[in-house]
Amino acid sequence: MDPSEVEFLAEKETVKIIPNFSLDKIYLIGGDLGPFNPGLPVDVPVWLALNLKQRQKCRIVPPAWMDVEKLEEIRELERKEDTFAPVPSPYYMELTKLLLNYASDNIPKADEIRTLVKDIWDTRIAKLRLSADSFISQLEAHAKLDNLTLMEINTIRAFLLDSLNCMYKLRSNLQPGSSKGQFTDY
Amino acid sequence: MPCERKPMRYGHSEGHTEVCFDDSGKFIVTCGNDGDVRIWEGLDDDDPKFITVGEKAYSLALKNGKLVTASSNNTVQIHTFPDGEPDGILTRFTTNATHVTFNSSGSRVAAGSSDFMVKVVEVSDSSQQKTLRGHEAPVLSVTFDPKDDFLASSSCDGSVVVWNIEEQSQLISWPLLQKTNDVSNAKSLCRLSWQPSAAKLLAVPVETKVHLYERGTWDHVSTLSDDLQTQLINVVAWSPCGRFLAAGSVGGSLTVWDVNSKLCVERQKHEKGFTVCGLAWSPSGSQVAYTDTEGCLGLLDGLSTSTSTTQAPTKKTAKDYDDLFDDDDDDRLMDEGLSDTNSPVKKPVARDDDDDDDDFLVPATGRVRNRGAVLDDENSLDTGSLKVGWDRFGDDEDSSAAAPAAPPLVPLRPVYEGPLPTAPQKAFQPGSTPAHLTHRFMMWNSVGIVRGYNDEQDNAIDVEFHDTAVHHAMHLTNSLGHSVADLSQEAVLLACPSTDELASKLQCFHFSSWDTNKEWMVDLPPGEDVRALCLGQGWAAVATSALMLRLFSIGGVQREIFSLPGNVVCMVGHGEQLLIVYHRAPGFDGEQALGVQLLQIGGRKKQLMIGESLPLSLRSHLCWLGFTAEGTPCYVDSDGVVRMLNRSLGNTWTPVCNTRETCKSKSDHYWVVGIHENPQQLRCIPCKGSRYPPTLPRPAVAILPFKLPLCQTSTEKGLMEEQYWRSVLFHNHFSFLSSSGYEVDEDGRTQSQKEQQELLMKMFALSCKLEREFRCVELAALMTQNVVTLAIRYASRSRRMALAQRLSEIALEKANQIQEEEPEEREEEPQHAAARRPSGYEVTGGRRGRRQEEEEERGEELREEEEENAQEMETGEEAGTRNRVTASVKEAASPVIPSLTPIGKVGRANPFKVLGSGTPSSSSAQPRATNILDNMASGRKSSPLSGSAGKPNKGPVLKPLAPRAKAKTQSTLLQMTSTKKKSQEVTPPAAEQQEPAEAPPPASPADNTENKRPKTGFQLWLEENRKSITADHPDLEETDVIKEAMGRFRTLSSEERLSWTERAKGQTGDADLKKRKRADGGGGGGGGNEHGQAEADENSAKKKKSLDPSAKLSAFAFNKN
């Protein structure tokens, strides 16, 4: 799975916007959106929000969790816990990236938020690597990882699967003939 | 003592605050729950410096450039002042310190703590500290003896203790206070204060009084009290000169006593009545700063208390008339005399000479002093006192037993002790934040936002539109200092107050103007200031300080001008309506007495509300005023209650929402920006911990639902009642809009009607289940007629025959009512359109519209039809009547025209003539016929006429009706008759319409030949009674006879009428069959064919209808779970 595909999925998340135009309800396959009243917040999917934002048709209201204090709390929790702490949104990384790239003027303290989210991400990825490492080194058959987001899974999936496959191959070669057998192959 | 109470400033977040002055008196320093120490350069400092000392700051003290604070990290820290650099930690406790104070020289700091200890620390060397142990509860307050020997402290254990600092021992302890377990639970903070210069007295607030203890002897030498002081005193503070003592109470009152005379010399009330928790005199003694538990800072200015000014003339302010009571009767009298309203000079010093020492030492003896002398004095001074306070005076005399024989003839100082007037609220623009802010909203309404910036870099105004399609955002430099603004789809209106050189100006940016000049400006006459302004559609209004309302056109033409009855509070415009709120009279006891005026400007100028009083919640003021998007006036008071005008109940105000109910915390508020009735939305901005939002970060609008404060809305019944009445209230605007000639959203209207009827039906079902039949009938009275029929069905299905019977009476009544109203209102009232529906026309509204469109194209054909009719007309009386009918119908409004054809044709088979043939009524043949439905037939007879008449013509193919050859010859005749009859009365059609016999009116020619006429009870009755009518009134014409008959028939009892309809039914044979026949056998010409079709349509509609109710009923079925 491509990160861009994950991002595509994240674009389905809803976000509040304040439109500066007026439009009746629009009926889409995915559901009805609107009505849009100028000055009145309305929930729309991220893809639409970004599109409107780029056309300067709306202001985006950042999600409640996209706030320095809340993110700091989450970061602290993430650092304190050994396991994965719950994240504010299953697409927190993607949303942060999307919103900050296109609507940083609507988000107070955008830079701090970017740093904080990156910190959280780094902490989590480090944990993920660590757990992958211990998973492999302890030769466990299965592991349980809660609160992982799709993006995080996605970053490690390719590597983990490939390397496990590879290791499996190596092991299966190793076991039947023990060390001697292998040497005979060469 | 005159003084001016300055408006409160917001300083800290909610919670305990403290205040002090710096040594020079230049700065006011406050600390609060937000952990900041703010340094205010005077009260008007808009941008106070702040030092963050911790998460919370409990207390502060300032001396010699050192700022000592007690913060939540259990330390007492020093900061330099005014730089705010941290300068080390003075001492620590195991829990937070509650009060810190300097000694007079500033060399030591005393701190009391919640860990029951008091510490005295040298500022220069914090290692030298003395700990005073002995309290058994958190320490409330500490104060140094100015001579540095002693220290007094109060504690939650109820004691006030004087310590010897050197020996670290308790000298004396008074159990004066109520015991509590924590500072936060203490009723009073009991801030002690030691007289500064003389160091003679220690002031201890004890409940509502202040006890004074003498240094050395530690005797309780006197008590300062005030009759009007009913709340616990929280803090006391001595003036720097040591003569005056100020006290702040839990209830927000501020009192200043002259200690020598023990008189209350100043009494002020906190503007909102919050608890005063910090109090400080400026070093000059002319100001008292105070803070409250809501984090606001206030200032009393102009206190002339220094000893040198005692002889200066002091003018009594109007407020002071009640300031003069004191425990000590003599002194009170004395003071009364001295401070008589007209007495320009107050001589405390002179008084000191007489009685000060005595009083001071032996206050109890004060009462037996020579009253007469005092009173004489008073007489001599008195110039013209009022008698207002006489009773009061008498009472006091009784209570002070010393003077039972007070001479009643002595003119007395006016004493007023009734309710006190409230300060009238200032004029404001609804949707703006306070003017003292540097960045503020000058206007936030449904069109856009006007922001004002006024700081060092910029003095500008930003205008931004919610809908960028209106106009792009504007940035204006605010060189004139505009302070009020309004914004509409057409223009931005700004105004500034007058200055010394410049007059008050009104500036308008008329951006929607089509010429190149987008701006105009007007100077107001000198001495007149703009107080409030608003924009409507094509006009602007300005209320000025000269109680004047000036109207301008949007292009800048001066229009009407009129005087306002009082000082304006605010005003708003919407379309052609102008709503003004003004001060009707002074309010009392915290109330505002506001009046409201609603005017219609524009086409039809008139005053809709003439100075009615505006109902506000108790002790609240107006916060927002506006119109809903649909044009209904509404407003919000400071208690968060939103009220809306109910035009259908004689312009009363109905509370529709309480925004405070949805607030999470006490200090949260909603700042309303707009109201919509359809959909029901209250648009507002949630403000955490304040009443209004900051400009940054940009606040987001939230939507609150409305809720009428009906009883028991938790029950299903209450809930539905609330929904019903809310729906009714919020759809009043439809009738207002249509009556004032605006376009109305018909869909929304019918929708709401449907919703209301559904709710009624649900309530009906609920009441039925609960066996509340009387209530059912009451509900049925609110229903429209067709819903009543549903209700009847529901009742009869649930075997409540008595109920069904009563309901049928109601239905009958309603039918009659509609019948009477209809001739005038057949087009206007959608309610009636709904009522007509049971007669088989589901979509009357839409059809009517189309009918009108088709009217023109049909004009020709109609004429042809007419011709045909005329041709077939018989000569004779009936024909004459009929023709007159056609003629006048033609005259009548367009919607009636469609009925022309059928009437004409029906006329051929004149109902009155063919009565005798005894043809059955087709209406009774309906499958769901019951007696009530039969009766209802009379209610719908006129609508079918017009409705079904419109129908055939609406058919896709409109064929010429008859051979033209004949028509030619007859056309002239018709013309003649119709013109001749035009002058005749218009009543015949009405009579014809009212005539209840015609349930299925369109009789085809085929029908005519067969001479099968439907018949109803009225016809039967008419048949029998015709003779008696004609006998009674031989001179009556045919139509008048029918009218007369109608009247008589109506006077019959319902049972009789029922019996007639029964009879009519009895005669009914196979109407259905005949109908079908009619439909099939429509070969009697093109016209007949069409009518047959119509009939068929109608039949199917009826059939559908007959199925409908049960389906609907199932939806209403009450689910008891």
- As a three-state string, the secondary structure of B823-842 is HHHCCCCHHHHHHHHHHCCC
| Residues of chain A with C-beta less than 8 angstroms from the C-beta of B702 | 41
For residue range B195-208, list pLDDT tens digits in order.
Answer: 887 788 888 888 88
DSSP designation for A36? B
Q: How many residues does chain B have?
A: 1121
For domain A3-172, the CATH class is mainly alpha
Residue A29: alpha-carbon gap to chain centroid: 26
B467: nearest CB among A38, A56, A61: A38
Confidence grade of residue B688 (pLDDT, cut at 50, 70, 90): confident
Q: In B, residues 452-491, which contact A (CB 8 Å cutoff)?
A: 465-469
| Residue of chain A minimizing CA distance to B699 | A61
Window from B432-436, B525-529, B739-743, B1056-1060 with minimum mean pLDDT: B1056-1060
Q: What band does A77 get if pLDDT is binned at 50, 70 and 90? A: very high
Q: Which helix (H) or strand (E) holds B569?
A: strand B568-574
Distances (CA, A) of B305 to A77, A82, B280, B340, B343: 59, 67, 14, 20, 19
Q: Which of B514-523, B807-816, B1106-1115 has the lowest mean pLDDT?
A: B1106-1115
- pLDDT of B1114 reads 56
Residues B231-247, mean pLDDT to the nearest whole number: 87
The C-alpha atoms of residue B1057 and residue A186 are separated, in whole angstroms, by: 116
Q: Write down the mean pLDDT value for chain A.
A: 88
Strand partners, B301: B4
- B448 CB neighbours in chain A (<8 A) are 39
Per-residue model confidence (pLDDT) at position B463 = 93
pLDDT higher than threshold 80 for residue A44: yes
Q: Where along chain A do its domains lie?
A: 3-172
- Burial of B645: CB neighbours in 10 Å, binned 0-12, 13-18, 19+: buried
At B359, list the tokens.
Answer: 């009083």
Query: Averaged over B759-777, what is the pLDDT?
Result: 90
Closest by Cα among B1056, B1065, B1029 to B918: B1065
pLDDT at position B53 is: 84
Q: Which residues pair with B759 in a beta bridge?
A: none
Output the CA torsion sign for A64, A13, B706, B742. positive
Do B235 and B277 form a contact (C-beta atoms < 8 A)? yes
Residue B294: pLDDT over 70: yes
Tell me how close the Cα of A154 comes to any Cα of chain B, in angstroms.
35
Min Cα–Cα distance to chain A from B570, Å: 24
Inter-chain touch B467–A41, beta carbons under 8 Å: no
pLDDT, tens digit, 9 for 90 and up, residues B511-566: 998 999 989 999 999 889 999 999 999 999 999 999 999 999 999 999 999 999 99
The tens digit of pLDDT for each residue in B135-159 reads 888 898 999 888 888 889 998 888 8
Supply the pLDDT for residue A127: 92
Establish whether the linkage from the previous residue to B82 is cis, with ω within 30° of 0.
Answer: yes
User: What is the spatial distance between Cα B75 and Cα B85, in angstroms, rounded to a whole number?
Assistant: 16
CB contact (8 A) between residue A39 and residue B703: no
Question: How is the beta sheet containing B118-122 ordered, strand by strand?
Answer: B97-102, B108-113, B118-122, B129-132
Across the range A83-95, mean pLDDT stands at: 92
Q: What is the mean pLDDT of residues B205-228?
A: 85
What string of H, E and C letters represents the secondary structure of B632-644?
CEEEEECCCEEEE
Check residues B473 and B387 and name the one with the higher pLDDT. B473
Supply the Cα-derived Rg of chain B in whole angstroms: 42
pLDDT digits (tens, 9 = 90+) for B467-522: 888 899 999 998 888 999 999 999 999 999 998 888 999 999 999 989 999 899 99
Gap between the Cα atoms of B567 and B570, Å rounded: 9
Angle of CA points B476, B478, B481, to nearest 5°: 155
Q: Residue B343: enclosing H or E segment and its boundaries?
A: none
Cβ within 8 Å, pair A61-B701: no
Range scoring the smallest mean pLDDT among B510-519, B645-654, B1062-1071: B1062-1071
Cβ <8 Å between A22 and B467 = yes
Rg, C-alpha atoms of chain A: 22
Q: Which residues contact B228 (CB under 8 A, 6 or more apart)?
A: B253, B267, B322, B325
At B57, which amino acid appears? A
Rounded to a whole number, what is the distance in angstroms from the first to the last CA of chain A?
37
Q: Is the CB of B448 inside 8 Å of chain A's CB atoms?
A: yes
Q: Is B973 on the interface with A (CB under 8 A)?
A: no
pLDDT band at B96 (very low <50, low <70, confident <90, very high): confident
Q: Which of A16, A40, A104 to mutate to test the interface with B (most CBs of B within 10 A)?
A: A40
**Per the structure block, which two tokens stand in for B1090?**
């069409």
| Cα–Cα distance measured from residue B458 to residue B467, given in angstroms and rounded to the nearest whole number | 26
Whether B347 has its CB under 8 Å from any CB of chain A: the answer is no
CB of A163 within 8 Å of a chain B CB? The answer is: no
Could you write out the three-class secondary structure of B668-714?
Answer: CEEEEEEEECCCCEEEEEEECCCCCCCCCCCCCCEEECCCCCCCCCC
> For residue A55, what are the contacts with CB-CB under 8 A and spacing of at least 6?
none
| One-letter amino acid of B31 | C
Write the pLDDT tens digit of every residue in B618-637. Answer: 989 999 999 999 899 999 99
Q: What is the pLDDT of residues A136-159, one digit of tens each?
A: 888 888 888 889 999 999 998 888
Q: Choose between B100 and B925: higher pLDDT.
A: B100
Q: B186-202 b/e with 16+ CB inside 10 Å = b?
A: bebbbbbbbbeeebbbb
Residue B1027 pLDDT class (50, 70, 90 cuts) = confident
| Residues in B touching A39 (Cβ below 8 Å) | 446, 448, 466-467, 701
State the average pLDDT for chain B. Answer: 73
Q: Can you tell me whether residue B150 is helix, strand or coil?
A: strand
Tell me the three-class secondary structure of B894-958, residue by residue: HHHHHHHHHHHHHHHCCCCCHHHHCCCCCHHHCCCCCHHHHHHHHHHCHHHHHHHHHHHHHCCCC
Judge: B468–A16 Cβ closer than 8 Å, yes or no.
Answer: no
Token readout for B72 is 């939540």
B891 touches B995 (CB < 8 A): no
Residue B331 confidence (pLDDT): 42
Question: Would you state the pLDDT for residue B342?
Answer: 42
Give chain A positions within 8 Å (CB) of B466.
Answer: 20, 37-40
* Cα-to-chain-centroid distance, residue B810: 37
Of B80-94, B556-570, B1050-1064, give the range with the top mean pLDDT.
B556-570
**Model ipTM value:** 0.80
Task: Calculate the alpha carbon distances from B264 to B224, B310, B327, B338 in Å.
Answer: 8, 15, 10, 13
Tokens 């109680």 locate to: B547
Taking only the tens place, the pLDDT of each residue in B338-349 is 434 343 444 444
- B1054: tokens are 């319902």
The answer on pLDDT for B797 being more than 60 is: yes
Question: Of A148 and B901, which is predicted with more confidence?
Answer: A148
Written as one letter, the residue type at B764 is F
Using CB atoms, which residue from B466, B683, B702 is nearest to A20? B466
Other CB atoms closer than 10 Å to residue B1013's CB: what's the count? 25
pTM of the shown model: 0.52
**Mean pLDDT confidence for B214-240:** 85
* A62 DSSP 8-state letter: P
Helix H or strand E segment including A31: strand A31-33
A83 touches chain B (CB under 8 A): no
Residue A114 confidence class, pLDDT cut points 50, 70, 90: very high
The neighbouring-strand residues paired with B686 are B670
CA distance B651 to B648: 7
Q: Which amino acid is at B558?
A: Q
Asked if B697 and A108 come within 8 Å (Cβ–Cβ), the reply is yes
Eight-class DSSP state of B7: P
Bridge partners of B224, per DSSP, are: B210
Q: Which of B47-56, B607-616, B667-676, B1067-1076 has the lowest mean pLDDT?
A: B1067-1076
The pLDDT value recorded for residue B286 is 84
Question: Which three-class secondary structure string do you get for A75-88?
Answer: HHHHHHCCCCCCCC
Beta bridge partners of residue B1076, listed in sequence order: none
Looking at chain B, which residue has its C-alpha nearest residue A60?
A: B700
- Bigger pLDDT: B14 vs B835: B14
